[in-house]
Structures are given as C-alpha cells and as structure tokens.
Amino acid sequence: MLHYKLSKMFYSRFYCFDMFKGKWTKAKLLRTFQDKFTLIYLSVDIALILVGIIGLIVGQSAFNQLMITMIETILLSIYLIVLNFIERYYLK
C-alpha cells in the first residue's frame, strides 16, 4: 500500500468519482517518505537472505521442511529486491 503508483491510483482514480480525486500538493514529500520505506524494506530483505544462508550453512544435518522454507525465503527475497529496483527505475 506504500507504493507511489498504487496510492495515486487509489486516491485519484477511484471509480472516477470527483470527491476521491486527491490534490497532490505534497507529492515530493510522499515520494521521499516512500523512498525511505523502500530502503527499510530492502534492508529487511537483505537480513532475511543472510539469516536464510546462515541457517542453510549451520543446519546441514538433514534436508527437511525448515531447509525448504529457508530456500523459499531466500528466493522470494531476491525476487522482491529485483522487483523493487525495476519499480524504482520506471517511477523516475
């Protein structure tokens, strides 16, 4: 819900009603706020990747559901980071 295009679409084009059209007088402030949260999400994804890699290295005894979950978490975090960079490229 914190992405710029989604927020603008929801508040400005919601069923084409005029009362829902937002006045974007402080769009730059919103953009900097969203950029800060994007960096926070990026750091959380990097932390999840590091925890997953450390968990895979330490727990080499058996390949169980925990290992599968760590691998999925690593892959999804990498996927989110790539999509985050693509979104930032196209928004500017």
pLDDT of residue 28: 83
* Cα–Cα distance measured from residue 9 to residue 28, given in angstroms and rounded to the nearest whole number: 16
Let me know if residue 7 belongs to a domain: no
Let me know if residue 12 belongs to a domain: no
Residues near 46 by Cβ (< 8 Å), separated by ≥ 6? 77, 81
Let me know if residue 11 belongs to a domain: no
Let me know if residue 42 belongs to a domain: yes
Kindly report, residue by residue over 19-40, the tens digit of the pLDDT.
Answer: 555 667 777 887 888 888 888 9
- For the entire predicted model, the pTM comes to 0.66
Range of the domain at 73: 26-91
pLDDT of residue 18: 56
Number of domains in the chain: 1
* Cα–Cα distance measured from residue 39 to residue 12, given in angstroms and rounded to the nearest whole number: 26
